[in-house]
Amino acid sequence: MAMAEEAGMFVVHQTIGTVLCCKCGIPMQPSAANMCVNCLRSEVDITQGLRKQVIIVHCPECDSYLMPPKTWIKCRLESNELLTFCWNKVKNTDFKKNKIRGVHAEFIWTEPHSKRIKVRFTIQKEVLANAIFEQKYIVEYVQHEGMCDSCSRVQANPDQWVAVVQLRQHVSHRRTFFYLEQIILKHDAAARAITVKQMSEGIDFFFANRSHAIKFVEFVGKVAPVKSRHDKQLVSHDLKSNNYNYKYTFSVEICQICREDLICLPLKVAASLGNLGPLVICTKVTNTIALMDPLTLRHCFLDAERYWRTPFQPLLTCRQLVQYYVIDVKIVSSEVNVGGSSYTAADVEVARLADLGTVLYAKTHLGHLLKPGDYALGYDLYGANTNDAELGKYRGLNLPEAILIKKSYEETRQKKRGKPRPWKLKSLNMELDEPKSRVEQEKVNSDYEQFLKDLEENPDLRFKISLYHNREYQPSEMGTVTDGEDVPSVPLEELLADLDLSDKEVEDYCMEE
């Protein structure tokens, strides 16, 4: 039509005609009913026969709702899951019965303690000779409190459990469990656990269903190299109905290799890995173990199945790290990327802080981080008394005097000791199996503090967990987090998971804009 007008041709403009409403007589566009919207609404009510109030059963303990006959759905207030639950309550009965099509649904705010949930539905229905009529109406859901089967059993007997998962790691520290606890919290993997108990060498998780325990064991197997076995014990037996009640136990053992451990690979394992090592360090542990030769920067990844086929123990662990003073650094190769981390081979001259008069020579993979005057943590093979059977099988092996593991910031942190961190971690609600002595509690606190330092120094560790803003931290001190002296810290943008700005801070920000 636009081209015809530009060419100067006569064009007939089409107009939409109007008709009079058969009820009130006002002009309107033609429709199948020949009635305006107001008259059609007065004549037809498509919500007739639909329930305006629905009763739902809510479990206050686990915050779940009953979908008859016996399915419980866990969802929070005004969540998408709860809206889907409310939609299905009326769709499966009212909408199908009255041949109504649901278009939209949204929550209407109510007081949380009112035990009422209001949802505004938008529905459509064909009326009066193929005329589609759309209308909105509100359904009020009344909550009746009632506990689900699992919560009822827990309330009747808190010690009544069906399956238990026993996580164990036979090492001298708890840093692995601190990290595993944060991964479990982020993925809400222990949401079905009735009770969580902290044991001397691990954690016990108690579940009301065997399937929940199996799912939890599968989750742990995806984040750590583990091996598991299970057993069952007969609790009761009904001869008439032939029903058996068992209690299930799942024993899950985490490998003894941890990050920063020094390992002497067995001859068979070293040969299968292309004659790697034999002295290697563990750089990362997930469901696989990342190993690297600090002298040649060769690396490999060992999965859980291959490890448990030929298990081995670390030669030296993190509790045997010694602090060194770096005297000189000479780079011998360019930077190499291994598993997302950068390393540079270098020859270093170091001296133990406890014996500065003795100069040691070693090769390290930390050439890109160290410079003269720095401090480093490493393993003292010059003065260590190692009694390892695998190490004795390598005849003619020349051990280095020292193997550096990581750069140390302890001297710098001494100036900030006692100051709170601007971030914090959440923790599982665990019960203690037995009270700890003062020495044991100090040991656990020391392990936890070292775990927090590892999170500050290693961004890869923070990638899989959630860090939260510490409300007790004073904003005026925020500038001291990254001040000065090369101290690793957690960036503020990684703390947005729990960051809650007050109204005053938002108002000040808007005024600045």
β-bridge partners, 198: 203, 432
Query: Is the separation of the CB atoms in 415 and 471 below 8 Å?
Result: no
How high is the pLDDT of residue 126?
A: 80
Q: Which two tokens stand for residue 478?
A: 């925020």
Is there a cis peptide before residue 372, judged by omega within 30 degrees of 0? no
Residue with tokens 């005057």: 373
E strands present in 31-100: 53-59, 64-67, 71-74
Q: Which residues of 324-344 are buried (b: 16+ CB within 10 A; e: fewer)?
A: bbbbebeeeeeebeeeebebb
346: its two tokens? 């270098």
Structure token digits, residue 175: 């840093």
Do residues 376 and 349 lie in contact, with contact meaning Cβ atoms separated by under 8 Å? no
Q: Cα(281)–Cα(283) distance, rounded to whole angstroms?
A: 6
Distance CA 389, CA 266 (A): 9
Task: Report the C-alpha gap between 423 and 481 in whole angstroms.
Answer: 11
Show the low-confidence residues of the chain (pLDDT under 50).
477-484, 497, 499-513
- 469 by Cβ neighbours in 10 Å (0-12 / 13-18 / 19+) ranks as middle
Please, is 177 exposed, middle or buried when counting C-beta atoms within 10 Å of its C-beta (0-12, 13-18, 19+)? buried
Task: Convert the pLDDT of each residue in 433-469 to its tens digit.
Answer: 777 788 888 888 889 988 988 888 888 888 888 888 8
Structure tokens that stand for 502 in this block: 């007050």
CA 83 to chain centre: 25
Burial class (CB in 10 A: 0-12, 13-18, 19+), 394: middle
* Tokens matching residue 298: 């060769």
Residue 472: other Cβ atoms inside 10 A: 8
Structure tokens, 245: 């009640």
- The two tokens of residue 14 are 């089409």
Q: Which of 296, 289, 320, 311 is nearest to 386 (CA)?
A: 320
Q: Which own/partner pairs from 286-293 qualify as long-range (CB within 8 Å, at least 24 positions apart)?
A: 286/223, 286/224, 287/221, 287/222, 287/223, 287/224, 287/225, 288/225, 289/225, 289/255, 289/257, 290/339, 291/263, 291/265, 292/338, 292/343, 292/365
Identify residue 10 by its one-letter amino acid code.
Answer: F
Q: Which two tokens stand for residue 433?
A: 């199996």
Tell me: the pLDDT tens digits for 167-179? 999 998 899 999 9
Q: At what angle do helices 438-457 and 175-187 cross, to 10 degrees?
A: 60
pTM of the prediction?
Answer: 0.69
pLDDT of 129: 64
Annotate 219-250 with DSSP letters as a single string. Answer: HHHHHS-EEEEEEEEEEEEETTTTEEEEEEEE
Tell me the per-residue pLDDT of 116-158, one tens digit each, with 9 for 90 and over: 999 999 998 887 666 778 889 999 999 999 988 877 877 766 6
Q: How far separated are the first and last CA of the chain, in Å rounded?
A: 49
What tokens does 218 get? 């599968």
